Amino acid sequence: MAELVPTGGWSTPARPRLQAPCARERGWLLGLLSRLAGRLGRPDIPDVITVLHLNPRLFWPWLWFASRLMPGGRLPSRVRERVILRTAWNCRSRYEWGQHVQIGLRVGLTDADVVQVSRGPAAYTEQPLRAVMQACDEMFARQLIEDATWQALAQHYDRKLLIELMMLIGHYVMVAGFLNSAGLVLEPPIEKVLQDFHRRVAAA
């Protein structure tokens, strides 16, 4: 079974640098989030949440902001997840990639959609998805969406959605840098989803 891997491989340190605290060390608010995750079909909240909560002064404002982008954003969920997946791929963040393979499949992306994201803008012939993927690559590489890409996007998205798209890409670049540097490893249930995805792709 071959795993999809970006050029240069996934960017992770030799061993985890920050560890998720155990359940009894999380406090009652994170306990509440854990119970909410159970109601949403996940066995627990992701480790990124509990690790970021090691700095609660930053965590709670970040969580509110992040929730305005995902799941509370205005971009269609399948566009949003393609954006996050492409950003994770560009940043070589296996944790972010794996989490959003699972979320992407849950909101309706197919295995072929996820593989297409890994191939970049050239894999798309239709707009606006080609322009969206191009924007992901340009924002990552140069922190600038080029004029031609902007014009293609502007034919489909209004100013509010263009701002949301830029903030979404930038936010997940930041999160990927945190995840890579902290050395977070996918939780076993999400790792299983990712490995099942790889098996299906290899067999297709």
d(CA 87, CA 134): 11
Upper half-sphere CA count for residue 56 (Cβ side, 13 Å): 6
Nearest to 157 by CA among 184, 132, 186: 132
Q: Using omega within 30 degrees of 0 as the cis cutoff, is the peptide bond preceding 46 cis?
A: no
d(CA 152, CA 183): 37
d(CA 18, CA 39): 27
Low-confidence residues in the chain, pLDDT < 50: 39-40
pLDDT of residue 39: 46
pLDDT of residue 197: 97
SS (H, E, C) 81-135: HHHHHHHHHHCCCHHHHHHHHHHHHHCCCCHHHHHHHHHCHHHCCCCCHHHHHHH
pLDDT of residue 45: 81
Q: Mean of the per-residue pLDDT values for the chain?
A: 91
d(CA 159, CA 95): 31
What three-state secondary structure class fits 54?
coil
Tens digit of each residue's pLDDT (9 = 90 or more) over 12-38: 888 999 987 766 666 656 666 665 555
Q: Where are the alpha helices (DSSP H) in 143-182?
A: 147-154, 159-182
Nearest to 198 by CA among 102, 119, 81: 102
d(CA 43, CA 193): 13
pLDDT of residue 3: 85
